[in-house]
């Protein structure tokens, strides 16, 4: 296989700080090339250079052996390089056909969009991809997985030769991920397409990638061929040390009293959910996207409406109709949607940390006790090893993993008895993930009751003392974690009745 794209000694500096150092990277014709590395390793920067979003400080890019200069994304498209970003650019109120052919709609004699032709062309594009969706329906009515496919169709239909996918599976369900993997393998074969694939999910990389390049701190650590690629090896290259990824973190605790008991909760997206969680216990909640886990948690927390059901906190009945009440009663929720529902991106780490516990920082007559806030923020920066350890830095300047830690410290600063964490390691790299896992375990050991919602089974099995399984809004059962396997959980999730 010939090399279609070669990047030679790419360097990139932002305000004097070099983030990519002499990066050599190449893609062959018709290969799937995975690019992995921790948050901040330089993956996105490199992809932005290849797709023309930013220009390298130095270095050369060759395509088919000829040097190319990419001034902007349009140049990249002219060179037949297309990118699908992590955040999709699907317009919800446009139809599937309009989304696919946006900006190049066929026009009739009067200069209007030729709808008939539009739908025919879109259908052709979809056929090539091997998917049957009615091009006339609104894109907003499709699942995230299908929207992803529409976006990929849109990019591929521009006759590109190199497709870049930036974390395409981060918001997909397991089934959608499998479909996407099949799709990528097929279009690679059929169209001799080269695909660059960025992912944090190493099992996907293992299945999909013909070659894998590992970046760390802006350096290329190495490129592995398919047969050399194993997860432990990739992790070692990514973080520079070995990590026992699946090492169980179950406690040997004697659990304490029941802290939170939920009895027959009904609400939008879930029905008849009952569970209890004790001191020092981690209750895992497993379910695929659409299982109603987040809806249940938001209702429990008072952000959404609970139609019926009882919540008992330490034996007392409690009506929680807003999040403030939940927080006051010692229930905190770490959202899965940290950018919109969790953090204050343009505010400092310090103020994000104390956002759930403002009441505790009064001096006299309602004057803010800044000194105490500094101390608390410093404490969590140290305990959770937030990097850089600068409490006055704005949160958007932190990497995903560190943002997640800041989000967790916000809840911890409110001294909860019950901590609900929803997808605590989404979009977080391996090192930070490990760190967050041990933090959760330690919190439980110190007496907290934790409810951990996750769609990642390995994570749940590693940490939870019991696992509650939800599927399409219904509670399928709760399993004690005595050497529980993924098969046990999955078979219960899909069990009839």
Q: Which residues bind other proteins (CB under 8 A)?
A: 15-16, 301, 303, 322-324, 326-328, 333, 335, 340-347, 351, 355-356, 358-359, 361-362, 366-369, 396-397, 410, 414
Least distance in angstroms from the C-beta of 335 to other proteins = 6
Q: Which is nearer to other proteins, 219 or 344 (CB)?
A: 344
- Measured distance CA(484)–CA(442) in Å, rounded: 21
Angle in degrees, 0-180, between the axes of helices 144-156 and 115-129, rounded to the nearest 10: 100
Would the CA dihedral through 238, 241, 246, 252 be positive or negative?
A: negative
- In 10 A of CB 417, how many CB atoms? 16
Could you tell me which of 133, 135, 221 has the C-alpha nearest to residue 179? 133
Residue 369 carries which DSSP code? -
Name the minimum Å distance from CB 88 to other proteins.
Answer: 14
Closer of 255 and 351 to other proteins (Cβ): 351
d(CA 184, CA 442) in angstroms, rounded, equals: 40
Give min distance, CB of 327 to other proteins, in A.
Answer: 3
DSSP class of 360:
G
Distance (Å) of CA 253 to CA 283, 417, 441: 13, 17, 11
Between residues 69 and 368, which has the closer beta carbon with respect to other proteins? 368
CA 28 to chain centre: 28
Query: In the complex, what is the shortest distance from the CB of residue 232 to other proteins, in angstroms, rounded to a whole number?
Result: 33
Q: How far is the CB of 376 from other proteins (least distance, A)?
A: 14
* Nearer to other proteins (CB atom), residue 239 or residue 420: 420
Q: Which tokens belong to 48? A: 């932005």
Nearer to other proteins, 200 or 410 (CB): 410
Q: Among residues 343 and 349, whose Cβ is nearest to other proteins? A: 343
Task: Name which of 340 and 487 has its Cβ closer to other proteins.
Answer: 340
Contact 39, 401 (CB under 8 A): yes
The two structure tokens encoding residue 383: 């305990």
Least distance CB 355 / other proteins (angstroms)? 4
Phi-psi region of 242 (alpha: psi -120 to 50; beta: other; left: phi over 0): beta
Do the bridges between strand 211-216 and strand 58-63 make them parallel or antiparallel, or are there none, so unpaired? Answer: unpaired
Q: Please report how many Cα atoms fall inside a 13 Å half-sphere around the Cα of residue 313, on the Cβ side.
A: 18
CB of 154 to other proteins, least distance (A): 21
Question: Quick one: 53 or 68, whose CB is closer to other proteins?
Answer: 53
Nearest distance, CB of residue 11 and other proteins, angstroms: 16
* Among 35, 45, 40, 87, residue whose Cα is nearest residue 400: 40
The CB-of-395 to other proteins minimum distance in angstroms stands at 9
Task: Output 156 or 373, the one with its CB closest to other proteins.
Answer: 373
- CA angle (68, 52, 123) in 5-degree steps: 105
- Half-sphere exposure (CA, 13 Å, Cβ side) for 103? 6
């Amino acid at each position: 296989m010939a090399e279609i794209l070669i990047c030679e000694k790419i360097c990139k500096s932002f305000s004097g700080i070099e983030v990519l150092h002499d990066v050599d990277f190449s893609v062959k014709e018709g290969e799937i090339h995975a690019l992995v590395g921790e948050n901040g390793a330089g993956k996105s920067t490199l992809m932005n250079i290849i797709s023309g979003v930013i220009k390298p400080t130095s270095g050369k890019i060759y395509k088919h052996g000829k040097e190319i200069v990419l001034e902007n994304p349009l140049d990249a498209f002219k060179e037949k390089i297309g990118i699908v970003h992590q955040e999709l650019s699907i317009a919800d109120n446009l139809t599937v056909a309009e989304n696919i052919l946006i900006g190049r709609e066929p026009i009739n004699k009067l200069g209007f969009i030729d709808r008939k032709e539009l739908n025919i062309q879109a259908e052709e594009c979809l056929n090539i991809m091997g998917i049957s969706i009615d091009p006339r329906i609104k894109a907003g009515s499709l699942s995230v997985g299908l929207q992803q496919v529409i976006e990929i169709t849109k990019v591929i239909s521009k006759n590109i030769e190199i497709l870049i996918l930036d974390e395409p599976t981060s918001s997909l369900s397991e089934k959608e991920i499998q479909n996407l993997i099949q799709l990528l393998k097929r279009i690679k074969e059929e169209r001799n397409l080269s695909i660059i694939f960025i992912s944090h999910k190493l099992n996907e990389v293992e299945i999909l990638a013909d070659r894998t390049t590992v970046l760390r701190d802006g350096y290329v650590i190495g490129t592995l061929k398919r047969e050399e690629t194993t997860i432990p090896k990739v992790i070692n290259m990514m973080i520079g040390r070995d990590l026992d990824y699946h090492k169980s973190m179950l406690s040997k605790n004697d659990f304490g009293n029941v802290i939170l008991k939920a009895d027959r909760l009904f609400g939008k997206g879930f029905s008849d959910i009952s569970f209890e969680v004790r001191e020092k216990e981690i209750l895992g909640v497993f379910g695929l996207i659409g299982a109603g886990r987040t809806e249940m948690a938001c209702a429990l927390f008072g952000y959404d409406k609970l139609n019926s059901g009882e919540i008992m906190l330490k034996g007392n009945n409690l009506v929680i109709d807003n999040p403030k009440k939940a927080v006051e009663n010692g229930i905190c929720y770490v959202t899965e949607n940290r950018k919109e529902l969790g953090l204050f991106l343009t505010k400092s780490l310090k103020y994000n940390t104390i956002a759930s516990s403002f009441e505790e920082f009064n001096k006299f007559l309602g004057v803010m006790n800044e000194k105490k806030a500094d101390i608390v923020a410093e404490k969590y920066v140290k305990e959770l090893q937030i990097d850089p350890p600068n409490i006055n830095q704005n949160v958007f300047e932190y990497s995903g993993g560190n943002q997640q830690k800041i989000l967790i410290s916000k809840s911890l600063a409110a001294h909860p008895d019950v901590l609900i964490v929803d997808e605590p390691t989404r979009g977080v790299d391996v090192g930070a993930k490990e760190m967050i896992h041990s933090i959760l375990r330690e919190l439980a050991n110190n007496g907290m009751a934790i409810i951990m919602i996750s769609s990642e089974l390995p994570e749940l099995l590693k940490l939870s003392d019991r696992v509650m399984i939800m599927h399409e809004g219904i509670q399928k059962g709760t399993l004690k974690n005595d050497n529980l396997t993924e098969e046990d959980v999955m078979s219960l999730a899909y069990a009839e009745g």
